[in-house]
Amino acid sequence: MSDPVTEPKRRFRWGRLVLILSLALNLLVVGLIAGALIKGPPKRDHGLPMRDLGFGPFVAALPDGDRQALAEAIREQEGSFQSRRSELRRQFDAFLAALRAEPYDHQALVQIIESQQNEIAESLQAGRDLLLDQIAGMDDGERAAYAESLESGLRRWKPDRPPPPKKD
């Protein structure tokens, strides 16, 4: 009698698994690099503190040259912006101290908040004036292009907004 031929047990091939995992990892890295290259470098804000003041979309929509001019105007007023930031920081420290004070003095917190609101309002006013001066220096075509850029940027922030009707 002959022995039935038994197939040898197949062994798991670790080499194959490692090769597949390595290929998948390489494809992932190549995909990330390609995506970064396609997307391009991030937009620079030229160190403008305007985004701190709520002017982000307005400044982002400006052409690079106008953004640089605005940055220069802000640098000329940097002292006023820096002193306001320092004052706000001092007021936050005073607010924390008033919160921890015993006995609690509600009126002290009210005064600190009102003072902070005044500092913020002055910064907003200065930023608004600089931005509006920049816009006032634009010609009709530049303002129209700026409006398109601003609208496009706002649409990206709110994707459910339908596009505006095209003018003929």
pLDDT mean values, one per 10 residues, the chain (168 residues): 61 75 82 73 49 68 85 76 81 90 91 86 83 90 90 70 58
For residue 120, with 0-12 CB atoms within 10 Å meaning exposed, 13-18 middle and 19 or more buried, which class applies?
A: middle
pLDDT in the model for residue 161: 53
What is the rounded CA–CA span in Å between residue 62 and residue 45? Answer: 10
pLDDT in the model for residue 158: 59
User: In whole angstroms, how far apart are CA 121 and each of 46, 78, 84?
Assistant: 23, 16, 10
* Residue 84 and residue 119 in contact, taking contact as beta carbons nearer than 8 Å: yes
- Spell 21-32 as b/e; 16+ CB within 10 A means b: eeeeeeeeeeee
What is the rounded CA–CA span in Å between residue 168 and residue 48? Answer: 37
Domains present along the chain, CATH in parentheses = 49-157 (1.20.120)
Amino acid identity of residue 80, one-letter, is S
pLDDT in the model for residue 136: 92
User: In whole angstroms, how far apart are CA 151 and each of 8, 22, 87, 144, 157?
Assistant: 70, 45, 35, 11, 10
